[in-house]
Amino acid sequence: MKKWIRRIIGVVSVGFAVLLIWFLYLKGPSFKNVYNSFGDDIPEEYPVMGIDISHYQGEVNWDQLGDMRIDDDSIQFVFIKATEGLSVRDDRKRINAFGARSQEIDYGFYHFFIPTLSASDQADFFCESIGGYNFDLKPVLDIETETTYSKKRLLDSVNVFLNRVEEQLEVRPIIYTYSNFYDNYFSNHSQELFWVAKYSRRCDAMENKNVICWQFSETGTVDGINEKVDLNIAKDNFFEVFSRY
């Protein structure tokens, strides 16, 4: 075969390979990772498992996520970041909500609370951002940032947010926080519902009746998501008490 013909064939082959790689890149979520485990040992005490996500997880292949089954465990709920402070809207909120709905996975939204900003304005911002969605789970106030404020001032601010959201959405939000924050600020708040984060094999807060959900890992692996993801387990009454309706 003449050299110039071999060169043409070589150029065409390289070009085809480049086009194929580009096509696969454009396909995006269809080629997300598939794993052989959830990336961490799942505590056996609680029967319900779910995740929470934001734009940090990037694009999600919801078909793969919805189909994932390992030892009879699957993703049964998802909390989706909606807003932060007074101006940040998570740019994956809408598509993540539609994705969860497409797989019939119960979902809800959370707001990352900034204690130094107006609590009522943050509540308004959050409610305006999620008001058009038919979400299944109660909204969540994510508070994990300590300030120089007194305990009373911080709790007053939290109550303003909770009351304001409840007025507008007719459902009282859940409080998400870390276990130390819960112990320091909320352990006596038996009238609220809690979702507590503690990355260990035990979470003593779950012994309390009003602590329903435990975020036990931040290094989970879930089909359809390339990035690490938070894993959560919950008590068997999760869907009863965390339901929006």
For residue range 70-107, list pLDDT tens digits in order: 998 999 999 999 999 999 999 999 999 999 999 999 99
**Closest alpha carbon to 86 in 127, 45, 136:** 127
Of the residues 41, 91, 144, 236, which is catalytic? 144
Specify whether 52 is catalytic: yes
**Strand ranges (E), the chain:** 48-53, 77-84, 88-89, 106-112, 140-142, 174-178, 194-197, 211-220, 229-234
| pLDDT score for 49 | 98
Confidence of residue 53 (pLDDT cuts 50, 70, 90): very high
How many C-beta atoms lie closer than 10 Å to residue 22's C-beta? Answer: 10
Specify whether 227 is catalytic: no
Residue given tokens 């110039």 in the structure block:
4
Residue 214 — φ and ψ, nearest 5°? -130, 120
What percent of the chain has pLDDT above 90? Answer: 82
CA atoms within 13 A on the CB side of 65: 32
